[in-house]
Amino acid sequence: MPPTFAANGFLPLGRYSVSLDEAESMLVSAPEFQDSATRTALWDGLLDYVDRFLKLEDAYADVLAGLRLIHRVWLGGSFVSTKPDPRNIDATLLIDTRAERAVRGKPGSKWLTTAFQSRDRMREKFGVSPLRIGYQPVAHIFEPERFTPEERTYFTQRGVWDDWWQRCRLPGQADGSPSEQSAAPARGYLEVRL
């Protein structure tokens, strides 16, 4: 069951795993958003953005051997709040690096780079402000001395964005940059399963 928004307009603290349909029901078609001027178009943009990855998966299913390019999508920011008309969807995509390597260099694979080159361009074209984490399935998590540089990068990025999506800008803060004062977790975010 998807989480519900708290009185402050955000999700309770934590990361909530939901399906794509549950996310849409909660963030777009919920009764409180029926008069939104932006949510439907933004959601359609997110679907178009993600669909480009899914088309690559379909085109190269033989070399991917069951791997998915997108492991999960984290949604945060004002789209995951009760704000009626957010300006964009803030998304962190966990891209499976094994699948990415299998597809690199093949026709159409330039999207794997283009999708994250310019957040401004993706925001203009799809309404999505994307960030990338190179997902790594790591079995030896209790043995950090065995981590490869790529695994260390994965854990660092995952921790950074998990921390960020639980922060809120402070009231009256002119600069929206992260600060020590805004470091305490103050809201939740969604982890969408495709």
**What pLDDT digit, counting tens, does each position of 68-98 carry?**
999 999 999 999 999 999 999 999 999 999 9
Name the packing angle between helices 119-126 and 39-59 (round to 10°): 110
* pTM: predicted TM-score of the whole model, two decimal places: 0.93
Q: Largest Cα–Cα distance in the chain?
A: 53
Which residue do the tokens 């029926």 mark? 34
Contact 79, 88 (CB under 8 A): yes
Q: What is the pLDDT of residues 136-193, one digit of tens each?
A: 999 999 999 999 999 999 999 999 999 999 988 777 777 767 777 778 888 999 999 9
36-41, long-range: CB within 8 Å, 24+ apart, which pairs?
36/84, 36/85, 37/84, 37/85, 38/85, 38/86, 38/87, 38/127, 39/79, 39/84, 39/85, 39/86, 41/127
Strands 188-193, 70-76: parallel, antiparallel or unpaired by DSSP?
antiparallel
